[in-house]
Amino acid sequence: MKLSDWARSQGITYKTAYRWFKDGNLPIEAKQMPTGTILVFPPDEGEIGNVALYARVSSSDQKDDLTRQLGRLVEFAAGKGMTVAKTVSEIGSGLNGRRPKLLQLLRDPKVSDIIVEHRDRLARFGSEYIEAALLASGRRLIVVDQSEMRDDLVQDMIDVLVSFCARLYGRRAAKDRAKRGLEAMRDAPGPQDKT
Q: Is the pTM of this model over 0.75?
A: no
Catalytic residue among 4, 9, 58, 163: 58
> What is d(CA 87, CA 8) in angstroms, rounded to the nearest whole number?
11
Residue of higher predicted confidence among 94 and 70 = 70
Taking alpha carbons only, the member of 48, 46, 10, 47 closest to residue 30 is: 10
Among this protein's residues, is 137 annotated catalytic? no
Question: By the 8 A CB rule, do 137 and 113 touch?
Answer: no
Residue 143 bridge partners (DSSP): 116
- The tens digit of pLDDT for each residue in 19-72 reads 888 888 777 788 898 988 899 887 655 444 689 999 988 888 888 888 888 888
Start-to-end C-alpha separation, the chain: 76
Minimal CA–CA distance to 86: which of 64, 108, 68, 67?
108
Pinpoint the alpha helices (H) of 57-126: 63-79, 100-107, 119-122
Q: How confident is the model at residue 93 (pLDDT cuts 50, 70, 90)?
A: confident
